[in-house]
Structure 1
Amino acid sequence: MARPKSQRWLPFLTWLPKQTRFSISRDALVGLSGAVLALPQSIAYALIAGLPPEYGLYAAIVPVIIACLWGSSWHLICGPTAAISIVLYASVSPLAVPGSQDYIGLILLLTFLAGVFQWLLGMLKFGALANFVSHSVVLGFTLGAAVVIALGQLPNVLGINVPSQATALDSLLSLSAHVREWDGASLGLGLATLLLGVALKRWRPRWPTLLITLVLASLIVWLLPQVFGHVHRVQSFVGRLPPFSPLKLDVETVLRLLPSAVAVGMLGLVTSLSIARSLAARSQQMLDANQEVRAQGLSNVVGALFSGYLSSGSFTRSGLSYEGGARSPLAGVFSALWVALFAVTGATLIAHIPIPAMAASILLISWGLVDSRAIAGLWRVSRPEFVVMALTCVATLLLELQTAIYAGVLASLFFYLKRTSRPRIQQWHEGDEEILRVGGSIFFGASHYLQVRLQRSQGSLVVIDAQHINFIDYSGVEMLHQEARRLRGLGRSLTLRRARPQVIEELRKLEGPDKCPIQFET
């Protein structure tokens, strides 16, 4: 049954009226935890992108609200990410001085173009891109991303300054070179926060673990300045609501930014869809990929007009939404509203949060992203898919995050093509007939395998039981015609039995119905 037009254009009308007082209060609390996490992260990511810190906050407000209201995932939370920030900096820094007004304008224009590209893909129903990200790829990507997130936070737990690295291997090597510089107070505070978080998740899983641990850590630092006075805290800032930013749409600049916009837009989509599918599998939710793609595009188009640079799905914040028990996308909306409130009124309070405690909380979140039960099940059920999972995980650790996703997708396609190139064939004799029952489609990858089996056949009447053949391409048609002519030259024949009408139609197109060398039986 088709949805009403109002719900197609305003999809939040399908779930918003169903909210209860309990679900709203729960989402508001989860959103508060997400906002506390998003504030320091957003500032850091903005600096990575070469932008003033307040632009990270802007990217965590308007784009998040749009993506949550127009998307389909219950738990996907968008916002600035490290991977997107690094790609944006690499794309725009050759064109303008980072941090300048020209640079900011180019970043926002690139965001707008990427959003238009994403929205067009959604309108053209290219959300099927998510189907190429198999569950094994998602598991491997999730496992690897959890390790990447953890390695990225270890310097903060240890209280040392390590330059941001592109891959987990580089982060590990850089960390090992500075490990002797660790600070005892920072490490102690981080470990205490981590242990308290583990205890709360075990004994009080419904409590807002992140919020409690950060508040207690901030109080300890405030009460014991002689011990923790030197520990780094979240950077202070002067906040305001996202200002409107008109874009300069001159043709030359648009054409220059377009290739980067397409690349970074695709990166954002693949990342967001991977995260959304990972969480949907765990929450038993049916995901509408096309709606999610449209929402991502719309969030970046509108976000760019309100000073928000390119956003995509955040593993850390989305994992917090799931682990915190969010009841609806309202958790993401509340998160953005809390960010806006803190950006205006709570800058001084946020500046009291110690960085080691924040990093320890992120370590706990990254551990919760690992689905060990599903990984063990994958090992028992399908070793090839487990290999895909392992390859994706290793690629995530050795390569950049977005490259690892592409590597996992290619590995999945390789194993899929390998499996489908050898369709299951049952073979037996009935009198003069030699029957081959083919369990799969005949396409360019499988036609050679079937041709070899036909050439080894010995019966005077060769019959292909074709009831399970759903599709045949030109390579398959040409091969069957060739084999039929070869068998005819030997005084034998080739017959397709119980073939589907569309398969018969394709086979008769090559030389015409009257000249087709293949016989057909119902």
Structure 2
Amino acid sequence: MPRLSSLLPFLVWLPRQSGRSLLQDLLVGLSGAILALPQSIAYALIAGLPAEYGLYAAIVPVLIASLFGSSWHLICGPTAAISVVLYASVSPLAVSGSDDYVTLVLLLTFLAGIFQWLLGMLRFGAVVNFVSHSVVLGFTLGAAVVIALGQLPNLLGLDLRSQATALKTLESLLSHVGEIDGPSLALGVATLLLGLALKRLRPRWPGLLISLFSVSLLAWALPSWFAQVPRVPAFIGHLPPLSPLPLLDVESMLRLLPSAVALGMLGLVTSLSIARSLSARSEQLIDADQEIRAQGASNMIGAWFSGSLSSGSFTRSGLNLEAGARSPMAGVFSALWVALFALIGAGLIAHLPIPAMAGGILLISWGLIDHRAIRALLRVSRSEFLVMLLTAAATLLLELQTAIYAGVLASLFFYLKRTSRPRVQQVCEGEADVLRVGGSIFFGAAHYLQARLQRCQGPQVVIDARQINFIDYSGVDMLHREARRLQRAGGSLTLRRAPLQVIEELRKLEGQEACPILFED
């Protein structure tokens, strides 16, 4: 049974559901679907996909992630940041919206899903911890700016080619500022202002949906003013179609592989961060490896059902928790409600003005920026704040997947810089110099500690090793060399209260009898 429950985790919680809890989850799922409809369409347009693919990404991937994940409240689906990276990764390879473009997006989704699933199977859940929160904040800040700049042409009624970076997009906008279409600008600004007002006055209402509906109604009621404003392309309503992927196209797979790894990591970091924050409020334990496997499976299977890459959605997951979801069935019902709308409500989507959608996306972009966390980061850690700024700058200047790698490298650099200088306090006890060392003695810190040992004046040196939790070969070799140097000078090197693991590592190098280091309890 434990083996079966690990393969089919929904068998643990599904039999416990009652009619009352299922009804509650059904209503919560409806609320989530209402929120997901305009968001999913907006994210599809951000990713350069036809509108219906946003709905497809909110159906099968959400079903798989809800049934096989470990969180009760995490809801997955298309997100703004993921959509931006998808567009930046695939747009240089094909014309956005074309059949080739859609195929490459789905292939990229499949590859990212394989990467995520393998990490989960190998129990590498801790790998996502290498993408620090400051990197996520910086990437999200930069992505919000990229999203906003990318939607300004639609808001202003301009037909401009997409650019590789945010700065080139801004340059293109400034060169066409005299071609702004007034009716398009009016609809876009009206959507943005109405959405902001609803968010401030009625934060629990589906403000994006209401603002899009209201502005679309206005455009329909005044055809003499807004007839020329472009609308979202119509599509035939049906359930997500099967999309066979060109898995034998090795060249395309190799070109997409770096983006797949970056997107996979970004999706996992986002999803696990949301799941952990929600579990702290619901007092639920999260199995990180199971969640990673579920995310990977949702993208692997979802790609075959026309679903682009999905990850955890903070807005939908937060709504799930606040609305009182009893189980992951709320996510299942949400996907089924979206499927119902995709089947019978496709005609309504065709009435949405593209400038209004652009205004809604600008509203989403503003909501992406975590202003409070950024201010807190500045107060707590200047180095982490610098990592955030570097990641944000890289997001604006480089390709987005490259920006993620740059942020991770910056985080690792500052981490290694901190750990390469362990805490050392020096005091004198008679003729002995005592160094109280706190931290790990590894290859990055060995040189610093060796320099501190050689500054000691007396021949007798004692290292208070109570707070040394790890030592590698470089540290062992350095301490042996320093002990022999002190022996030749008529002194000694003593480790006081060293952990057993540290003592064993030090004695391995030359054997217990030949170890030049003394140990003291």
Q: Which moved more, 1:108-117 or 1:345-354?
A: 108-117
* Aligned residue among 267, 275, 298 for 2:270: 275
Report the Cα offset of residue 295 of structure 1.
Answer: 1.7
Report the Cα offset of residue 303 of structure 1.
Answer: 2.2
* Aligned residue among 64, 70, 81 for 2:68: 70
Alignment check: 8 A CA contact 1:440 1:468 kept: yes
Q: AA paired with 2:202?
A: R
* Aligned residue among 189, 204, 207 for 2:205: 207
Q: AA paired with 2:223?
A: P
Report the Cα offset of residue 99 of structure 1.
Answer: 2.8
Report the Cα offset of residue 293 of structure 1.
Answer: 2.2
CA distance in 1: counterparts of 2:69 and 2:508, whole angstroms: 44
Report the Cα offset of residue 399 of structure 1.
Answer: 1.7
Map of 1:474 onto structure 2: 473
Residue deviations 1:355-388 (CA, integer Å, cap 9, x gap): 2222222222222222222211111121111111
Q: AA paired with 1:480?
A: L
**What TM-score does the superposition give when structure 1 sets the normalisation length?**
0.87
Report the Cα offset of residue 29 of structure 1.
Answer: 1.7
CA distance in 2: counterparts of 1:167 and 1:331, whole angstroms: 39
Q: Secondary structure at the match of 1:469?
A: strand
Residue deviations 1:402-435 (CA, integer Å, cap 9, x gap): 2222111111111111111111101111112111
- 1:327-342 paired onto structure 2 within 5 Å: 333-342=332-341
Report the Cα offset of residue 22 of structure 1.
Answer: 4.7
Q: Which moved more, 1:384-393 or 1:37-46?
A: 37-46
CA distance in 1: counterparts of 2:287 and 2:30, whole angstroms: 25
Q: Which moved more, 1:278-287 or 1:110-119?
A: 278-287
- 1:17-166 paired onto structure 2 within 5 Å: 17=17, 19=21, 21-22=23-24, 24-39=26-41, 41-42=43-44, 45=47, 47=49, 57-72=55-70, 74-79=73-78, 81-88=83-90, 99=99, 111-166=109-164
CA distance in 2: counterparts of 1:282 and 1:288, whole angstroms: 13
Map of 1:514 onto structure 2: 513
Cα distance change of structure 1 residues 120 and 111 upon mapping to structure 2, 3 Å threshold: same
Alignment check: 8 A CA contact 2:109 2:300 kept: yes
Map of 2:356 onto structure 1: 357
Report the Cα offset of residue 495 of structure 1.
Answer: 0.7
Map of 1:259 onto structure 2: 254
Cα distance change of structure 1 residues 142 and 326 upon mapping to structure 2, 3 Å threshold: farther
Tell me how large the CA RMSD over aligned residues is.
3.1
Report the Cα offset of residue 318 of structure 1.
Answer: 4.5
Residue deviations 1:304-348 (CA, integer Å, cap 9, x gap): 333x2551337xx65465478565566654554344333322221
Q: Secondary structure at the match of 1:361?
A: helix
Q: AA paired with 1:191?
A: V
Alignment check: 8 A CA contact 1:110 1:257 kept: no
Cα distance change of structure 1 residues 355 and 332 upon mapping to structure 2, 3 Å threshold: farther
Report the Cα offset of residue 486 of structure 1.
Answer: 0.6
Q: Give runs of ≥4 in structure 1 deviating > 6 Å.
A: 103-107
Residue deviations 1:163-222 (CA, integer Å, cap 9, x gap): 223332222222222222112122222222222212211121111111111111111111
Alignment check: 8 A CA contact 1:508 1:516 kept: yes
Map of 2:192 onto structure 1: 194
Q: AA paired with 1:123?
A: M
CA distance in 1: counterparts of 2:110 and 2:290, whole angstroms: 19
Report the Cα offset of residue 59 of structure 1.
Answer: 4.0
Q: Secondary structure at the match of 2:477?
A: helix
Q: Secondary structure at the match of 2:154?
A: helix
Cα distance change of structure 1 residues 327 and 275 upon mapping to structure 2, 3 Å threshold: farther
Cα distance change of structure 1 residues 127 and 276 upon mapping to structure 2, 3 Å threshold: same
Percent of aligned pairs with the same amino acid: 59
Alignment check: 8 A CA contact 1:111 1:310 kept: yes
Map of 1:390 onto structure 2: 389
Map of 1:216 onto structure 2: 214
Q: AA paired with 1:376?
A: R
Q: Which moved more, 1:232-241 or 1:281-290?
A: 281-290
Q: AA paired with 1:29?
A: S
Q: Which moved more, 1:338-347 or 1:103-112?
A: 103-112
Alignment check: 8 A CA contact 1:130 1:289 kept: no
CA distance in 2: counterparts of 1:446 and 1:226, whole angstroms: 73
CA distance in 2: counterparts of 1:168 and 1:179, whole angstroms: 16
- 1:324-473 paired onto structure 2 within 5 Å: 333-473=332-472
- The yes-or-no answer on 1:180 pairing with 2:201 is no
Runs of 5+ consecutive residues of structure 2 not aligned to the other structure: none
Runs of 5+ consecutive residues of structure 1 not aligned to the other structure: none
Cα distance change of structure 1 residues 467 and 126 upon mapping to structure 2, 3 Å threshold: same
Map of 2:8 onto structure 1: 10
Cα distance change of structure 1 residues 257 and 198 upon mapping to structure 2, 3 Å threshold: closer
Report the Cα offset of residue 41 of structure 1.
Answer: 3.8
Report the Cα offset of residue 292 of structure 1.
Answer: 3.0
Q: Secondary structure at the match of 1:441?
A: strand
**What TM-score does the superposition give when structure 2 sets the normalisation length?**
0.87
Alignment check: 8 A CA contact 1:35 1:335 kept: no
Report the Cα offset of residue 502 of structure 1.
Answer: 1.0
Alignment check: 8 A CA contact 2:84 2:147 kept: no
Q: Secondary structure at the match of 2:164?
A: coil
Q: Secondary structure at the match of 1:375?
A: helix
Report the Cα offset of residue 229 of structure 1.
Answer: 1.4
